[in-house]
Amino acid sequence: MRTVRDAAFDMLRRHGMTTVFANPGSTEVSLLADLPDDLDFVLALHEGSVVGTATGWAVARDEPAFVLLHTTAGLGNAVGALATARENRAPLVVVVGQQDRRHLAQRPFLTGRLEGLAGDYPVRVESPPRAQDVPGALGRAWHAARTDRGPALVVVPMDDWQQPADELPEAAPRALRQATAADPESVAAVAGLLDAAERPALVVGAGADHPATWRALTGLAERLGCPVWQESFGARAGFPQDHPRFAGHLPADRTRLRATLGRHDLVLVIGAPVLRQYPYEAGPLAPDGTRLAVVTDDPAEARNAPVELAVLAPLPAFCAALAHRVSARTARPAPECGAAPAVPVPAAGAPLRAAHVLAALAERLPADTVVVEETPSSRPDLHALLPARQPLGFLSAAMGGLGFAVPAAIGVRMGAPERPVVAVVGDGSSLYQIQGLWTAVHYGVGAVFVVLANGRYAVMDRLAEKHGGKAPWPAFEEISVRGLAEALGCPARRVGDHAALLRELDAVAATLPGRTEPLLLEVTVEPDPSFAP
């Protein structure tokens, strides 16, 4: 007898979802026991690590990853990571196990109230009315995750997998094609805005992180002779950050933002929100005389943009057409972003700062390295010293919550094993998903984790000072991230001075492309007293 489980596996194979990311529970055993040999199982030790690893994998491969979560506890533990997946535009198909359908009405142990638990972060949530509808629901979830670029959830009772499969075709298309051509009228409208502007500027974001979009935007910026800014708090780079037209990262407060944008009479935002901020400040985003427009493939970004023109379009095709449509003009002087700032070598015995570590990494990392960032107090230095030089060169958590970088770096390396992967993580950030290192060890994932250890939540300390108060939380200098990594089976070393740092990085750099073993370097750094969040 062909079962729902058999039909579901065929659906996964049809759509290339042959890797299962999970931390299983009892409601999923009937699906997983005797897993077919052509399906791979990846275990992580917490649901945040499960979803974070799958997110990195999906971003690296630009295709949906398959995730399995255990009823209320598993979905609840994963909600923050699912929110990050949504904001990072990572396509995930997420099956959430449920109690046996035959006695759900009596609300037995492990029954989950699942449909609204993840809030609005899933792009789709479906509870199939019959066991036989599960395979079709998986197909619809795959299409939703891929087209809407986020997690799509399917809730499946544990007894459904062994039920006989329906003989009728699944209620999901075998193929769903999206138009990828650019609408000529929309291209003409945006080109008209650019041609009418005397001092245009581009702002790019995570949605533009695609090889074809990078090529098109490079041509557009050169044709316009205009600066290109990266959105603040961007999860991915939308433009080559070593290009002469790259101007830097936009500030995250409105006063400085208005000063920056006031140099331009038109700002065209591409693949980013308009314009992401952190602290609230009164007043408009842009000063009078600066017009705003946005081109994005995210409907929410388009609907929420305070602009005079918003265009919803496939970015690679649209940007290529726009680059050919605008009028060429004499190039203005390149923006004053310039080369990375010089970082003096610390004196013998002087403490390391994050900038020393990042400058040393910048001198040694190959151009195709994926840098996964989660070091809030060192982010400005990282942006200044470690520019993204290729698509997928930079990855961060768009939601801002901690616990992303460790599992995401593992998933990126699994999904794109040809790319070197280095995670730069604060010690406080690393503790949120340190157990992800076990997955890297067990599956031979050669990512390198550089942990900047200052023994405190430096960003929170600075925020408390900014509010004129004393932080009630203690430092945690006694925690050994190296010790935790070693306890999870991950090779780890602690670095305390500049000479040792250079020796370690010289040894690691040559191994990055072909590594099959993870490594954690815990680098002791002093907090930067000049940092202001």
Higher pLDDT, 108 or 449: 449
Tens digits of residue pLDDT in 448-459: 999 999 887 777
* Closest to 325 in 3D by CA, of 515, 414, 230, 195: 195
> Cα–Cα distances in Å, from 108 out to 15, 26, 98, 161?
34, 13, 11, 19
Give the mean pLDDT of the chain: 91
Q: Where are the domains of the chain?
A: 4-162, 184-325, 354-524
- Please confirm whether the linkage preceding 512 is cis (ω < 30° from 0): no
Tens digits of residue pLDDT in 253-281: 888 999 999 999 999 999 998 888 877 78
DSSP string, 461-505: HHHHHHTT----SPP-TT--HHHHHHHTT--EEEE-SHHHHHHHH
Tens digits of residue pLDDT in 119-135: 999 999 999 999 999 99
Tens digits of residue pLDDT in 342-383: 788 888 878 889 999 999 999 999 999 999 999 988 888 999
28 burial type by CB count under 10 A (0-12 exposed, 13-18 middle, 19+ buried): buried
Average pLDDT on 428-451 reads 96
User: Do residues 529 and 520 touch, judged by C-beta distance below 8 A?
Assistant: no
Domains 4-162 and 354-524 share a fold: yes
Whether 500 has a pLDDT exceeding 60, the answer reads yes
Q: Which residue has the tokens 């629901």?
A: 137
Tens digits of residue pLDDT in 272-309: 988 888 777 888 888 888 999 999 998 888 888 889 99
User: Do residues 23 and 48 touch, judged by C-beta distance below 8 A?
Assistant: no
Q: What is the pLDDT of residue 334?
A: 66
Whether 528 has a pLDDT exceeding 80, the answer reads no
Q: What is the pLDDT of residue 508?
A: 95
Whether 337 has a pLDDT exceeding 60, the answer reads no
CA distance 23 to 252: 37
Q: What is the pLDDT of residue 461?
A: 77
Highest mean pLDDT among 35-39, 145-149, 168-172, 396-400: 35-39
Q: Where residue 476 falls among pLDDT bands split at 50, 70, 90?
A: confident
Q: Please provide residue 92's backbone torsions phi and psi, each rounded to the nearest 5 degrees.
A: -130, 140
Percent of residues, the chain, with pLDDT higher than 90: 71
pTM of the model: 0.92
**Does CATH number 3.90.1150.10 belong to domain 354-524?**
no
Tens digits of residue pLDDT in 189-202: 999 999 999 999 99
Whether 178 has a pLDDT exceeding 90, the answer reads no
Query: Helix or strand or coil: residue 42?
Result: strand
Q: What is the pLDDT of residue 336?
A: 59
Q: What is the pLDDT of residue 376?
A: 86
Q: What is the pLDDT of residue 103?
A: 92
**Does CATH number 3.30.565.10 belong to domain 184-325?**
no
Whether 475 has a pLDDT exceeding 80, the answer reads no
Whether 533 has a pLDDT exceeding 60, the answer reads no
* Closest to 91 in 3D by CA, of 39, 129, 141: 141
CATH number for 4-162: choose from 1.10.10.10, 1.10.287.110, 3.40.50.970, 3.30.70.340.
Answer: 3.40.50.970
DSSP string, 371-404: EEEE-GGGHHHHHHHS---STT-EE--TT--SS-
Tens digits of residue pLDDT in 5-32: 999 999 999 999 999 999 989 999 999 9
Q: What is the pLDDT of residue 340?
A: 67
Q: Please enumerate in sequence order all residues whose Cβ is within 8 A of that of 111, keeping only pairs 6 or more positions apart, or say none.
A: 71, 98, 99, 104
CA distance 321 to 304: 25
Average pLDDT on 222-248 reads 93
